[in-house]
Amino acid sequence: MKVIAINGSPRKNWNTDTLLKNVLSGAASAGAETEMVYLYDLNFRGCRSCMMCKLRKEPRPDCCVVRDDLAAVLKRLHEAEVVVLGSPIYFSEVSGEMRSFLERFLFQYLNYDDYSKPLSPAKKTAWIFTMNIPESLFGEFGYSALFQRYANWMKLYFGHCETLLATDTMQVKDYSCYHLGCWDSDAKRLRHETVFPEECKRAYELGVKLMEP
């Protein structure tokens, strides 16, 4: 079984990347072939609304027709059994690269003849969201609705979705080097040392779970 993780964070070896690697490790432990794709390493843009994927012709393209760095990735995603998406939350949204990716990934499967029946293959999917605010602020910033909306898209298009949240994350190793005075650096570090390892464990377990029949 092939599991592909799409990393929408610009920061390697940090929160989102670490959690995605744990998901892939869990899946690999259960026999999966795994791959990580770093969106910020690719040269691509969002959907151009060229509508080529909606032309009335046969055979219908099974992926976006735009030829750029994302083209080969979309083909591998089409064939994969499991897709895991990871993004930090910036200004109450996924990263810009992740949003551009989603336009290309999902629009190719959108069926305007019957919106409720996307033209996508069934597969297991999961979202990993990381954010620096605590769960107590979700209501104020509309985060719960945001996460539910992204999960609903995956369920609509592929029939399945799991979600893992990592909240109140540590943004930098040394807060004293940055203008980040509104955060309690000691509390951030303590949480990173005590809670984040548990979130990594949950990510690993999620990878194992995604391999179950």
What secondary structure, in 3-state letters, does 56-87 show?
A: CCCCCCCCCCCCCHHHHHHHHHHHCCEEEEEE
Q: What is the pLDDT of residues 136-175, one digit of tens each?
A: 999 999 999 999 999 999 999 999 999 999 999 999 999 9
Percentage above 90 pLDDT, the chain: 92
Residue 60 is predicted with a pLDDT of: 65
Residue 172 is predicted with a pLDDT of: 95
Residue 136 is predicted with a pLDDT of: 95
Residue 115 is predicted with a pLDDT of: 87
| Contact indicator for 120, 158 with CB cutoff of 8 Å | yes
53 Cβ neighbours under 8 A, 6+ residues apart: 60, 61, 63, 64, 65, 107, 108
Q: What is the pLDDT of residues 88-103, one digit of tens each?
A: 999 999 999 999 999 9
Percentage above 70 pLDDT, the chain: 98
Instruction: Give φ, ψ of 77 to 5 degrees.
Output: -65, -40
Residue 62 is predicted with a pLDDT of: 62
Longest dimension (CA), the chain: 60
Q: What is the pLDDT of residues 167-203, one digit of tens each?
A: 999 999 999 999 999 999 999 999 999 999 999 999 9
When pLDDT is averaged across residues 94-114 and rounded to a whole number, the result is 96
Mean predicted lDDT score pLDDT of the chain: 95
Q: What is the pLDDT of residues 6-45, one digit of tens each?
A: 999 999 999 999 999 999 999 999 999 999 999 999 999 9
- For the domain with range 2-210, which CATH number is right: 3.50.30.40, 1.20.1300.10, 3.40.50.360, 3.40.50.620? 3.40.50.360
- Whole-model pTM? 0.95
- Give dist(CA 52, CA 149) in Å, integer: 26
The domain segmentation of the chain, as residue ranges, is 2-210
Q: What is the pLDDT of residues 70-93, one digit of tens each?
A: 999 999 999 999 999 999 999 999
Residue 2 is predicted with a pLDDT of: 98
